[in-house]
């Protein structure tokens, strides 16, 4: 029995992340929404004054894309201090609990979900031959009810709305603990398909959205990262972002509704070449 208990404890071991300092306005640490994760861009550590939140927080993946699109369009509502050499995204959750024991439990849960999100990103980065994303716990001066993490990744994740949308979806899928144990792409597909087969329900929560978007994009994710060079050959990043609609993202691309004509044609060509319908 002792060995069984020891094995059970090992399964729920809390991931440990190194801590870094990021300047976050105190008002941003007390959001009224307790559901889901909020995303924002972060400056580089060499930006004037050090690391800072570079855009407003948003729960919507396409909302984060909107911040980046505004930057390329020259809008004053874009990312302030955008690092064009790396993808730097803050992930934040405001906890609804207040009792100390519950706060600790929920923080441990968030840490596990960040580790799963990192594992998912690293899996696809390995398939693509890209550098692996890193994750740090953010020290921001707020209380323990505001856990925040910084993902630092290759700039390729910012190449196009579909790429950034996929990036955020993979991080958010960390909330599905069924995805923590896969070792191969086949194993990932097996676990992810079980999630996609669930009824999304009628709600508007991001978990409901995860199921819907996973259904439309799951079979194409590997295809996209493995064929990144062809999909974006000869296209600079500003061209991929300027003039894009507010709904542009992974879901739009995978269901054939992207307004990016070049991307639409190349994606269709890639699907035909590898016989993925």
Range in 6-15, 65-74, 118-127 the model is least confident about: 6-15
Q: Roughly how many angstroms between the first and final C-alpha of the chain, as a whole number?
A: 49
Q: Exposure of 210 by Cβ count < 10 A (0-12 exposed, 13-18 middle, 19+ buried)? A: buried
pLDDT of residue 96: 86
Max Cα distance, the chain (Å): 63
Name the average pLDDT for the chain.
Answer: 89
Q: Exposure of 116 by Cβ count < 10 A (0-12 exposed, 13-18 middle, 19+ buried)? A: buried
pLDDT of residue 11: 56
In this prediction, residue 34 has a pLDDT band, given cuts at 50, 70 and 90, of low
In this prediction, residue 216 has a pLDDT band, given cuts at 50, 70 and 90, of very high
Strands 148-154 and 134-139, bridge-based pairing: antiparallel
Check pLDDT > 80 for residue 5. Answer: no
Residue in this structure with the two tokens 């855009």, named with its chain if needed: 55
- Tell me the average pLDDT across 151-158: 98
Return the beta strands (E) in 46-95 as ranges: 86-92
Backbone φ, ψ for residue 138 (5° rounding): -95, 130
Check pLDDT > 90 for residue 275. Answer: yes
Residue 22: other Cβ atoms inside 10 A: 22
Q: Do residues 117 and 170 touch, judged by C-beta distance below 8 A? A: yes
pLDDT of residue 194: 94
pLDDT of residue 54: 94
Q: Do residues 47 and 83 touch, judged by C-beta distance below 8 A? A: yes
Pair of tokens at residue 136 = 């740090």
Q: Starting at the edge strand that comes first in sequence, how are the strands of the sheet with 19-21 ordered?
A: 19-21, 134-139, 148-154, 86-92, 38-41
In this prediction, residue 201 has a pLDDT band, given cuts at 50, 70 and 90, of low
- Tell me the average pLDDT across 236-250: 86
């Amino acid at each position: 029995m002792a060995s069984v208990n020891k094995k059970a404890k090992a399964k729920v071991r809390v991931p440990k992340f190194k801590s870094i300092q990021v300047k976050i306005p105190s008002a941003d640490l007390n959001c009224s929404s307790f559901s889901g994760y909020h995303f924002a861009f972060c400056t580089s550590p060499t930006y004037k004054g050090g690391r800072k939140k570079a855009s407003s927080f948003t729960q919507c993946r396409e909302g984060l894309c909107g911040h980046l699109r505004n930057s390329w369009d020259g809008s004053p509502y874009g990312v302030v201090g955008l690092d064009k050499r790396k993808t730097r995204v803050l992930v934040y959750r405001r906890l609804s609990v207040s009792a100390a024991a519950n706060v600790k439990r929920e923080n441990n849960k968030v840490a596990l979900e960040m580790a799963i999100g990192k594992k998912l990103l690293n899996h696809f980065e390995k398939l693509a031959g890209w550098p692996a994303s890193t994750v740090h716990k953010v020290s921001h001066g707020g209380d323990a009810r505001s856990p925040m993490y910084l993902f630092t990744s290759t700039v390729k994740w910012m190449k196009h709305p579909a790429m950034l949308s996929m990036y955020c979806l993979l991080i958010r899928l960390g909330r599905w603990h069924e995805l923590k144990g896969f070792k191969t792409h086949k194993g990932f597909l097996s676990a992810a398909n079980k999630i996609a087969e669930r009824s999304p329900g009628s709600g508007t929560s991001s978990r409901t959205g995860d199921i819907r978007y996973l259904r439309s994009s799951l079979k194409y994710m590997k295809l996209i990262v493995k064929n990144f060079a062809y999909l974006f050959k000869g296209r600079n990043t500003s061209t991929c972002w300027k003039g894009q609609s507010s709904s542009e993202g992974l879901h739009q691309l995978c269901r054939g509704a992207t307004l990016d004509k070049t991307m639409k044609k190349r994606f269709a060509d890639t699907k035909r070449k590898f016989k993925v319908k």
